[in-house]
Structure 1
Amino acid sequence: MLEAIRNIGRLSELAVVLVRHGFADLVERVGLPLGEPAALPAGGERLARRYNLYARLRMVAEEMGPTFVKLGQLLSQRPDLLPKEMLLELRKLQDQVTPLDFAQIKEQVEGALEAPLEQSFSQFDQKSLASASLAQVHRAVRADDGREVAVKVRKPGIVRTIEADMELLAVLARVLDKEMEAVKPYDLPALVQEMDRSLHQELDFALEARHMLVARSQLPADSRVLVPAPHLELCRPALLTMELVRGQRLGQAELTPEDKKRLGQDLVQALMEQVLLRGFFHGDPHPGNLMATRAPDGTPRLAMLDWGLVGRLSDKDRYQLCDLLMAILQRNPKQIVQAWADMGVTPRAGGDPALEQDVGHLLEMVYATSQGPPDTSKVILEMMEIMRQHHLRVPMQYALADKALLEMEGVAHALDPDYRPVEAARPYVWRLYLERWRPDVVLKRVLAHVTDGLHFLQDLPRRLETVLLQLERGELGLALEIKGLKPLTQAVQEGSSRVTVGLILAALIVGSSMIITTGVEPKLFGLPALGVLGYIISGVIGLWLVWSIFRSGGGRF
């Protein structure tokens, strides 16, 4: 399967980096090409003794470049799949790199706009405001109206690099899923596809401009949160021109305690409204994507930047999330597990008493060890850990919402140590609950169900006709899979194979004994050679049969 990878050089580079960081056994097991033995790196065992598994995985991602860094950052959004220790390491991945030369940026801008730089911008600072793995940002002035703007430029060649790396990772995911039983519960091929979609979403800056327009349209008229306005006529898939926001990154801003508290409240209000009331939210609200700026009257204002990754929740998704939050507030493990089933986290049929019991123990522990209402981030992370232990997967839209709320709570706590997440969330949960049962919303849902039912009744005769035609032609089949039958069938087949070999062995021994009694020529050690050869073959087969039974513990032959 690895032969399908076109960039074998990149695959060999990954193998060398893995060996250098103490993963030689994984490289050997998967069969990654390492090149010449003399070129193999040393020091892997020393690193393995010095750093834990998760730290070394982070180091591998950092050395392999932007695709692996972004992949690690996206994986850090999945506490339902990864251990907490690994999440903490992946969140250390930094996305700041040395800026490219201005000549390369200029060429990229002119290629995107299909015009000379001076035709679109009267000024364009050569020094970048920020530089990351996918893009870098420059201050500029529009040539037509003199407005100051920020121009986000996609780095040249980054799309080809990411596509090649994602092809490599897709093949590796299939190999690992096939060869390693321990990773099967994670469904690595589907996970890589999910990450690939998220990366391509972040690479399309024209799409990011549309995200910003949607976010701006949902802001209340009196909102103190700022989303930069995109300049659509100067936006392309590789170029994003937007309103220039002056200020400081939230993690670096010098603010009074009152200003910090106010910005924290603004952030909580904005994210709660986006996730619970609007269903369209910023997918990565960490401090690097938040800026403290000032309104004309000098009051602090929060700006939300980098709208490449966004989350969407349908009305149904929001109402199911409301059920989960209400169950958490009411400390009801049965309703929590039921909400998970409605969200597609757990199978509906049967239920799992152990899962409900684990959730109940978690709630008891969290509320018993907390002075006052517990941190929602702690509850969410612990519940994600339970999901991971029970091999449950959270649909991507909910995982992204959880991640956004976790990031929000971390920033709010840093700004205001007295922040109480449960009190902050409660009014929005109740607003969503009341919205769900508003007469107009209920009527809308009833009409939708009635419409679906009428469409089904309208289509029913055609479906019945199709089934009857297939039945008449003998094309209708019924597939049944009885649990437990497959292992039974396999055991019967293995037993039959051993009985067959045993009968052949017995026939060889009997035949050889009869030949021995005849005394026919030629002879070996004074006995008929053919009979002696039969005994030898019988002995070899008998030993092989006994050895195979002991090796498999009575299992596979």
Structure 2
Amino acid sequence: MNMTSPSLPFDLDGRKKFLRHLSETLSRVDVEARLTAMADAVGHDRFRKQAADDIVAILRPADVLPRVYGGYRQVVTDGIRFILSRLPVERISRLMADQARLSPETPAGARLLMLARHLPTLHKLGQIIARNRHLDPSLKNWLVALEHAPCTVPMDDIIERIQAALGEDIARYDIRIGSAPIAEASVGLAVPFTFVREDGTRRRGVFKMLRPGVESCLREELDLLPELAGYLDARRHRYPLKHLHFADVFQDIRSALMEEADLSGEQKKLKAAFRFYHDRGPARVPTLYPFSTPEITAMAFLGGEKITEACTTPEDRRRLAEDLFRILIWRPLFSPDPRPPFHGDPHAGNLLAQCRDITGSFRLGLIDWSLSGTLPRDKRSRLIFTMLGILMAARDRISQGIQDLSVDDDRYTPAFRSRLDRAIDTITADNRYLTGGIAGKTFVLLDGLALEGFRFPSDLLLFRKAFFTLEGVLFDLCPAFDLDKAMAGEMALLMMTEGPQRWAAWSFPFMDRPENYRSLISNLDLRILAQHLMTLFFQQGTAMMTGLWTAAGD
């Protein structure tokens, strides 16, 4: 090929051979330069479109999805191709150079992992999907690899950035930076260090900082998400996604990435979480150190093992599961605080089993609060109202609870209620709903309704995702752990403490509001539930007696 007048080969095999030839004879920087020169010669728009087609053809992203997800292969391929075709020429040339330097025998999964490492939106989407324990195991194992990829940022660059950000605090606290990062995520990386406190003791800490160049990559990709949503909406007839709002899905990804990149915002969340959990049981949240900056979060190092890999006995694993349930689900859901914080991404890598306390129990380290939220008391009340409706199989109560939780403008119109009832009937007949417990049914219902286009507060959807993520961790720790049984036991204990308040409400009915009780269940709802359970008990008893009578007659 005449490199003085570059042009793109017309067939895919020719282009692959051309790229392979470049990568074998030139450095990566030179390969990128040649591709950029080619773009200048043939036109940037044509080059980006052709380069996107080539990368997708080489990657074969559809091959990564198991057959059970065959219906989603087209939307995945279309989405990746769209993003690639809109990236700046310099960046897509870099991505092409990465792919060209891989062996021709490199499987699709490994190629897609490399691409995801350089596309924060794709990386984050993969991490979010990986939290669902109902995924096909082969896909889940592939996605989990996104959490364990080696760090690619040179340590010299990291040290230089830390020194520039901290300035005189390096000497003031005698900060000594570790030899290598301990983790690298879609947006940030974590670097160990030690420092000297005012009392003269040396303590361990962790710097969290953004990966070099990730901010510009994020700006480019996040600006494309609304356009991508419109593109996929126009092609939705090709996908089995019914009424899914692509704009809402990408807004979730956008929010997650922006929060992860907002170190100052994460520092505020870390402080709130520390206050919420400090001296309240076995949970530990990292302390924020005073030499944090807008560019770098300096926090305490929490030692311990990944909770699912801690060397513990079956009994220890059961107790760990119970503690996790109380700390990450029960406590924020039934806290007296008006807006308690909750961890939005409680996967096993963010949960550490630390040394035992004086009672023999493990302490639990909760790290990475970049993705966290709060649930106001009124929304938690309606969520419990919906759970009670599910427990009693009362469709009207379920629909009412969902209406109150929704943020759709037309949520109280007859048309909305009619569409909602039809969606509820479909979702509650699905096996995933039927096989879940009460809490699981509630979040499966919210999940299904979100896919059908119903809209809910972003923090409620985040809590739903956190529940599914933690449900997978609990299952890995102790498959026999019964979340509903644990919740019923805690609820019984909580209601015992509400006795005087409930007696007062019998005399003054205006006080009998769910929000007035920490359990978020009014006396009226409690009475309706008791009547339902009593009716169910008599129905089962009657059925049993009828069966015995029939058997005796035979």
The match for 2:306 is 249
C-alpha separation between the residues in 2 aligned to 1:240 and 1:343? 35
Candidates 167, 175, 179, aligned match of 2:231 = 175
The match for 1:425 is 487
1:527-546 CA deviation, whole Å, 9 max, x = no partner? xxxxxxxxxxxxxxxxxxxx
C-alpha separation between the residues in 2 aligned to 1:215 and 1:194? 22
The match for 1:467 is none
Contact 2:390 2:442 in 1 (8 A): no
Match of 1:293, SS? strand
What one-letter code is carried by the residue in structure 1 that aligns with 2:148? Q
C-alpha separation between the residues in 2 aligned to 1:443 and 1:122? 56
The match for 1:286 is 347
Contact 2:428 2:445 in 1 (8 A): no
Pair 1:313–1:209, CA change in 2 (3 A):
same
Pair 1:306–1:234, CA change in 2 (3 A):
same
Pair 1:148–1:220, CA change in 2 (3 A):
closer
The match for 1:500 is none
What is the TM-score of this pair, normalised by structure 2?
0.64
C-alpha separation between the residues in 2 aligned to 1:409 and 1:136? 26
C-alpha separation between the residues in 2 aligned to 1:303 and 1:28? 36
1:141-166 CA deviation, whole Å, 9 max, x = no partner? 21454222222232222111111122
Superposition pairs for residues 346-365 of structure 1, below 5 Å?
347-350=411-414, 351-352=416-417, 355-356=420-421, 359=424
Shift of 1:74: 4.0
Indicate the structure (1 or 2) with the bigger Cα radius of gyration. Answer: 1
Pair 1:414–1:367, CA change in 2 (3 A):
closer
C-alpha separation between the residues in 1 aligned to 2:498 and 2:50? 57
1:399-452 CA deviation, whole Å, 9 max, x = no partner? 111111222222222222321111222356675997998979977999xxxxxx
The match for 1:103 is 156
Contact 1:110 1:117 in 2 (8 A): yes
Superposition pairs for residues 89-238 of structure 1, below 5 Å?
92=144, 94-99=146-151, 100-115=153-168, 117-145=170-198, 146-178=202-234, 180=236, 185-219=243-277, 221-231=279-289, 233-238=290-295
Pair 1:9–1:74, CA change in 2 (3 A):
farther
Shift of 1:294: 0.8
1:258-311 CA deviation, whole Å, 9 max, x = no partner? 221221111100112123425320001010100010145464211111111002
What one-letter code is carried by the residue in structure 2 that aligns with 1:399? L
Shift of 1:69: 0.7
Contact 1:138 1:152 in 2 (8 A): yes
Candidates 327, 333, 345, aligned match of 1:275 = 333
Shift of 1:375: 3.2
Greater mean deviation of Cα atoms: 345-354 or 360-369: 360-369
Greater mean deviation of Cα atoms: 332-341 or 146-155: 146-155
Superposition pairs for residues 472-483 of structure 1, below 5 Å?
none
Gaps of 5+ in 1: 1-5, 447-557
Contact 1:7 1:164 in 2 (8 A): no
How many residues end up aligned between the 2 structures?
A: 425
What one-letter code is carried by the residue in structure 2 that aligns with 1:228? P
1:348-382 CA deviation, whole Å, 9 max, x = no partner? 21155575466457657769976xxx435752464
The match for 1:335 is 397
Contact 2:132 2:472 in 1 (8 A): no
Gaps of 5+ in 2: 1-43, 63-73, 515-554
- The sequence identity of aligned pairs, in percent, is 21
The match for 1:262 is 319
Pair 1:320–1:254, CA change in 2 (3 A):
same
Candidates 298, 302, 307, aligned match of 2:369 = 307
Greater mean deviation of Cα atoms: 397-406 or 219-228: 219-228
Alignment RMSD (CA, Å): 4.7
The match for 1:344 is 406
The match for 2:127 is 73
Match of 2:224, SS? helix
Pair 1:248–1:84, CA change in 2 (3 A):
closer
Pair 1:170–1:57, CA change in 2 (3 A):
farther
Pair 1:394–1:87, CA change in 2 (3 A):
farther
Contact 1:58 1:72 in 2 (8 A): no
Contact 1:377 1:406 in 2 (8 A): no
Contact 2:229 2:246 in 1 (8 A): yes
C-alpha separation between the residues in 1 aligned to 2:458 and 2:268? 21
What one-letter code is carried by the residue in structure 1 that aligns with 2:324? L
Contact 1:208 1:308 in 2 (8 A): yes
What one-letter code is carried by the residue in structure 2 that aligns with 1:160? S
What one-letter code is carried by the residue in structure 1 that aligns with 2:346? P
C-alpha separation between the residues in 1 aligned to 2:184 and 2:307? 17
What one-letter code is carried by the residue in structure 1 that aligns with 2:150? T
The match for 2:10 is none
Superposition pairs for residues 22-37 of structure 1, below 5 Å?
26=78
Pair 1:398–1:123, CA change in 2 (3 A):
same
The match for 1:553 is none
C-alpha separation between the residues in 2 aligned to 1:150 and 1:25? 38
Pair 1:427–1:91, CA change in 2 (3 A):
farther
C-alpha separation between the residues in 2 aligned to 1:73 and 1:286? 10
